[in-house]
A = this chain, B = another copy of it.
């Protein structure tokens, strides 16, 4: 097996949304990868990649970081396997979905689960995590957590374009899932891996779609340690 994926870990939990995009993409391509857990305090182990963020994929002599670049690499290197994009228009258009996920979906989820991440990560990671996140949010993690029952309504409202899409078709990519689905699913799987706070509630087409995504590839995501909403 030539592939190795470095992914963010808290004990048995693998919770980076960007890593989950690639876990799903690898599964779609039918590619197995050795998985190396990286804690926040292990990031020096990524120095070989020339940067310090997960995911990092190693394929033989090739080292690639950044989930978008990894997805493009997989599509270009393994074009005869199931398509992540399938053509240039899909790849281009998915980049806007990738940016929407990063800047709207993940930015919306982050304050809702940040204290739960703190609770789950290994003790040696906690000082770094608390300091960096409290600087970002401008207040204690406990204060961010205390706002979430109110804040989740805005988060759910921000999913309106996704909700409407999934009310019209089974997957973001249409009748079958592709990389657009893996992008957005990664955010929910991130939260689900580390937090019992229900980001979604039934009835909601987004909830139903997450459930379908959890079952893909023999239940890959559902079987990973996480909570049930």
**Residues in A lying within 8 Å of B, measured CB to CB:** 83, 85-97, 99-100, 102-104, 160-162, 164-165, 168-169, 171-176, 178-180
Contacts and interface: CB of A to CB of B under 8 A. Distances in A.
Given A97-B97, A100-B100, A180-B96, A91 B174 contact: yes
The interface centre, meaning the residue of A87, A96, A164 with most chain B CB atoms within 10 A of its CB, is A96
B95 A168 contact: yes
A176 B95 CA distance: 14
Contacts of A104: 161
B95 A160 contact: no
A165 B161 CA distance: 18
The interface centre, meaning the residue of A89, A95, A180 with most chain B CB atoms within 10 A of its CB, is A89
The interface centre, meaning the residue of A90, A91, A176 with most chain B CB atoms within 10 A of its CB, is A90
29 contacts: A85-B90, A86-B88, A86-B89, A87-B89, A87-B90, A89-B173, A89-B174, A90-B90, A90-B93, A91-B174, A92-B169, A92-B171, A92-B174, A92-B175, A92-B178, A93-B94, A93-B97, A93-B173, A93-B178, A95-B169, A95-B172, A96-B100, A96-B162, A96-B165, A99-B160, A99-B161, A99-B164, A99-B165, A103-B161
Contacts of A103: 160-161, 164
Contacts of A96: 97, 100, 161-162, 165, 172, 180
Q: Which 9 A-B pairs have the closest CB atoms?
A: A92-B174, A90-B90, A99-B161, A92-B173, A100-B161, A93-B180, A89-B90, A99-B164, A96-B165
A186 to B, nearest CB: 15
A92 to B, nearest CB: 3
Nearest to A162: B96
Contact of A180 (B89, B99, B172, B174): B89
A175 B91 CA distance: 10
Given A103-B164, A160-B103, A162-B99, A83 B89 contact: yes
